[in-house]
Structure 1
Amino acid sequence: MNTIKAILTGHTRGLGAALADLMLSRGIEVLGVSRTRSSTSASSLLREVELDLTNSAALGEWLWTETLTRFIDGGHTVLLINNAGMLQPVGPIEAQDVNAIGRSVSLNVAAPLMLSAAVAAASHAASDRRIVHISSGAGRNAYPGWSIYCATKAALDHHARAVTLDRNRALKICSVAPGVIDTDMQAEIRGTGLEHFPLREKFDELKRSGQLSTPADAARKVLDYALSDTFGDTPAVDVRDLS
């Protein structure tokens, strides 16, 4: 029997919450890592860790504990989904708060890379290890006002490309853009002033015209691909391009 154990960051909101619900419904054990605990109904398959992933030092200390290793133990397939992320700071470079830049880079880049290395090292007994970076089209196309978000998502894409070159046969990795999803982040985008994000009207129109994916639909596409035989064949994909 293929026992799947998944580590999921940012599991309490948006795409992360939808991924958690979907995996639990499929009988997958989930270790959720987020600043807060889930408000959904409790499941014996869900374990939660309250951790601020913008704090790299705190994450490093937690990774030294045996929590991750104990959770992974016994899993045939170990799946890490680096979902947690933040949009801020938004605006031209001269208007960006330097501390906000530090928090964004810590959450969007340092945390996924640290967790990836830790899972790869801790899951040596698992015959099937998979790492999913939740990326964005912003990592592949530059947007005005989004220099930090674009740069951090591009970092995940390039990390996946480089790790693929390591040719670890027991490890597959892919940076997955999940499409444009109707989440709190989209609401945040639509609430941004045009002086900070000139392309906001494009996202306003996506909402008005019903072109945003639901979190549940996006979660299904991401998870189905993550567990497919073709996962990792390409280090960076967009779910909208998958058949």
Structure 2
Amino acid sequence: MTTAITRAIVTGHTRGLGAALAEQLLARDIAVLALSRSRNAALAERYPQTLEEIELDLADPARVAQWIAGDALRRFVDGAQSVLLFNNAGMVQPIGPIETQDAGAIAAAVGLNVATPLMLASAIAAASVTASDRRIAHISSGAARNAYPGWSIYCATKAALDHHARAVALDANRALRICSVAPGVVDTNMQAEIRGSDKEQFPLREKFEDLKRNGQLTSPEQCATQLIDFVLSDAFGQAPVADIRELAQRS
């Protein structure tokens, strides 16, 4: 897949995997429209011509819908032959048994982890009129496929992305490919947040502490390289759900 007239949308680009994705796409001369609550000053300084940033609370579906109703997305993808969407932004909170979960925190998690990715996916499918190749990558998790105590909201929201990709794939839109990709365990702020959670809230905390202690976490940069290579490959979209670790083992 050529990247000369390819443009990408990345959510949550200010740190961790999102920052690595945005940086590597820009380094490959792919213009990026980045959506987050704040800006990435370092990336903006390095790529002033090809990075466009939008400050947007992605956990607020009403604000996201209002932004989508405008023309910023349409203008960005106009003229592109290929459009990529990396639905990366997500949150692990609220962590804990169901009776401890705050209603507002649940609403924010569902907004950020589910509503916004699904709205952006639909918007990309509709807005990129000239693009003959549209690729949507939901950044999922092993938690979508395996239940963990204390993670009922995170597990449920990530599973929603997996099933969304499965259903969209059945639409058989030849100009659109979609895959919900588990990136493995990546050394991000989310991992630090998990390790800092109360053991009563998350009984498996020690498992994640061991992964960090034993150097078993993938760096955001390494994961971003694998994800971008996969999304740009002919294999992307052949299956609606994938795991980066399994793909790496096959190659």
TM-score (norm 1): 0.99
1:32 corresponds to: 34
Could you tell me which of 5, 8, 11 is aligned with 1:6?
8
2:106 corresponds to: 101
1:197 corresponds to: 202
How many residues were matched structurally? 243
1:112 corresponds to: 117
Q: Deviations over 1:4-61 (max 9, x none)?
A: 1001100111000000110011000000000000131421110000000111111111
Q: Quote the RMSD (CA, aligned, Å).
A: 0.8
Offset of residue 124 of structure 1: 2.2
Which one is further off, 2-11 or 102-111? 2-11
Query: Does structure 1 residue 62 correspond to structure 2 residue 64?
Result: no
Query: Does structure 1 residue 238 correspond to structure 2 residue 247?
Result: no
1:79 corresponds to: 84
Query: Does structure 1 residue 135 correspond to structure 2 residue 137?
Result: no
Structure 1, unaligned runs of 5 or more: none
Whichever residue aligns with residue 199 of structure 1, its letter is L
Distance in 2 separating the partners of 1:77 and 1:141: 33
Distance in 2 separating the partners of 1:87 and 1:62: 25
Offset of residue 183 of structure 1: 0.5
1:181 corresponds to: 186
Q: Deviations over 1:108-165 (max 9, x none)?
A: 0000000000110001210100000000000000000000000000000000000000
Distance in 1 separating the partners of 2:122 and 2:174: 15
Structure 1's consecutive aligned runs of 4 or more residues displaced over 2 angstroms after TM superposition are none
Report percent identity of matched pairs. 63
Distance in 2 separating the partners of 1:31 and 1:220: 18
Offset of residue 74 of structure 1: 1.1
Match of 1:6, SS state, is strand
Distance in 2 separating the partners of 1:133 and 1:19: 13
Could you tell me which of 15, 36, 43 is aligned with 2:17?
15
Whichever residue aligns with residue 37 of structure 2, its letter is R
Contact 2:37–2:56 (8 Å) recurs in 1: yes
Distance in 2 separating the partners of 1:185 and 1:73: 34
